[in-house]
Each structure stands twice: as C-alpha cells, then as structure tokens.
Amino acid sequence: MADLQDEPHSVGVGAEDVPVTAPLVAGGSLDRAAALLAVHPVADGCNTLVWTLRQSPYHDIDTPDLEVDTDIPRLRAGGVGAQFWTLLVPPGPPRAESCAQAVCETLEQIDAALALMRRYSDSLYLALTADDMADARNRGRIASFLGPVPGSTLTGSLGALRAFHALGVRLLAPAGAPWSDEGLTAFGHEVVKEANRLAILLDLTGCPPAAACQLAAASKAPVIISNTGAASLTPHPDNATDEVLLALRAAGGLAMVTFDTERTGDSLHAVADHVEHVRALAGPEGVGLGAAFGSEGGSPRPAGLTDPSGYPRLIAELLERGWSESELTLLTWGNAQRVLREAEFTARAAQHRGTTPG
C-alpha cells in the first residue's frame, strides 16, 4: 500500500485536466478516478522520452507539445507521480560492435536523462529510493527513476554496473545480454547478486520465458517487467506468458501493463482486459502500469490511451469493473513502491552480511 507518512499534495489531477473528448467511461467514475490519482498517483514503469529528446532536442516538455506524446502538463493531467525513464535504445538494447561502444551509448543516455531532470527541476525529481518516491509525491513533483540500462554492457566485469549505480541508475535489463539469454552463466549469477546488493531492479522485459523464470528465481529481490501485455490474450513475442506471470507471483515481482496497439489491443477496454489477466496470474500485488509512452506523434495507441493524460480513463474503467479503491492504489502506486522497498531491504541485508563486490 502507498506510503502515507506525510499528507501528499495533489499531482494536478482534476476534472478540468481531462481532455475534452467523447467520454469512454461514465463521468462519475472519472471523478472518482481523478480523486484517487490525486492521492495515489501512477508509478509508470516505462517512458522512452529520453531517447526521443536526444533525436529531437527542440521539444519543450514544460508546455503542451503535440509532436511528442509526453509532456509535463499531460503527465500531471494523467496523475503520473513517478516515472521510470528507460535508457535503452529503441527497439531494444544497443547492438554496438563493442562493449565500449555500448557503454558509451548508455552513458550518453544517462547524461541526457540527468540533463532532463536539471532542466525541468520544478516538476521532475531524481529519485534513488522508495523514500524519494514518496517525498517527490508529497512535494508535488514527479519522482524520476533512471533505467533500465542494457545488461549487454556488462561483459565479464561488474565495474560498469557499479558505475551506473553511482550515476543514479536503479534498473537493469538483462534481455539480449550473453550472460542471461540462454540461461544464467556463472557471470550472470554474479550480476544478479551484485544488482541485489546495489538495490538495482532487474527488468525482465524482452527476456525469453525460460530466462525470465530463471532470473526471477535467482534474484533475492523482486524483479519487474516494466512494460508488457498478457501473451495469452495477445500472442506478441514481447508479452509475458502465463508461466512468466506465475513465476513473478512466486518471486513477489511486478508486471506493468503497456498501452500498445500491437501488444494490448486498440481500445481502452482491451488494455483493461490485459490488466485484469495480469492481476489474475501475477496477483493483486504483482500488477502495475508501464505504458511505454515517450515517442513522437503517430505511434499507434489504444483509443482513449494515446498519451499519459488517459490514465484517469483506465482507472475509471476498472472502477466500473468492480475494482476497489484499495486494489487500484496497489495498481497505481503501492506495488511499485513495494518492490523498490523490498529491493532496498535485500540490499541492506546483503551489505550487513558483508557481501563483497564481484
């Protein structure tokens, strides 16, 4: 459940913030959704805006910008209170010719993300811990976590992982890494152990099912899938299978549902179906939201969920399906904060035991 040690400020969600479009859900449900998000905002698991702004740096996200699907006004209108900013190079981890090139590209992404935090410091708050996440919400700012970075940058040495952590990175994506894709190697086990020691979350997005299940079992801290759909509803290669969702449940992990026409259908109702299926398999504490916004205009999105301002519509739809407010606060905020806290607890326990870096 969300941390309510301090009385949170509104993150800017209100009926006046919802774009004027043909209503997809009843007005009363929208009002309830907006009120809920004002206290328990969305912790969104994936946004690719850092890469987009590197390609088109002229965008000013402090004002509405129709050329990109993410800006601060729409994040606030949608009730987004925490954001994981992916530092992967679309459509996946960098496929550089050498490890040095991959590390250099990742450092460029980190530098661009930190520059984004500095430029929009009145709205974006660089977060390193679960406490930072709550503090940002209470200050009316959007907690910003850096990552994932690609696991393919780690080839035989854990130094890069520790350097990324020192720069603020808190998520690592093993997909595409030679130490994980065909089963964890001895070095892969060391990566998992060190990520646990540093409280870096493993993001299993894009991992083959067998690898995802092995990583979930090997990690002592919860793992996440930052953006996914349910493969049993939409058989897309990047969607999580039922086997993976059950493995996440057993490991206390989190699957965050994306808003992507190819992966979750072309309507708000279809996305809600994916959310409910993930909850049924991964459990009420194992489902979250990771829309994967952050691209330039024209990307296909489900009707009603074309940008972050659509979040209240999805919450309203789930209210109409009978979700309780306590279940929704887990979905939007509580589950993401839980996995961060548990990763930090695991790290403290490892450090207390005197675990040494590999």
pLDDT digit string, tens, across residues 92-113: 454 545 678 889 999 999 999 9
User: Which ranges of the chain would DSSP assign to H, the alpha helix?
Assistant: 27-39, 49-55, 72-77, 99-119, 130-138, 159-166, 186-198, 209-218, 242-251, 261-264, 268-282, 311-320, 325-329, 335-352
- Token pair of 57 as six digits: 């740096």
Q: Is 334:4 a contact under the CB 8 Å cutoff?
A: no
Regions of the chain where pLDDT drops below 50:
1-23, 92, 94, 96, 356-358
Mean pLDDT, the chain, integer: 90
* pLDDT tens digits for range 236-262: 999 999 999 999 999 999 999 999 999
Q: What is the pTM of this model?
A: 0.90
CA angle, 286 then 287 then 290, to 5°: 130
Residue with tokens 């393919």: 152
pLDDT score, position 24: 52
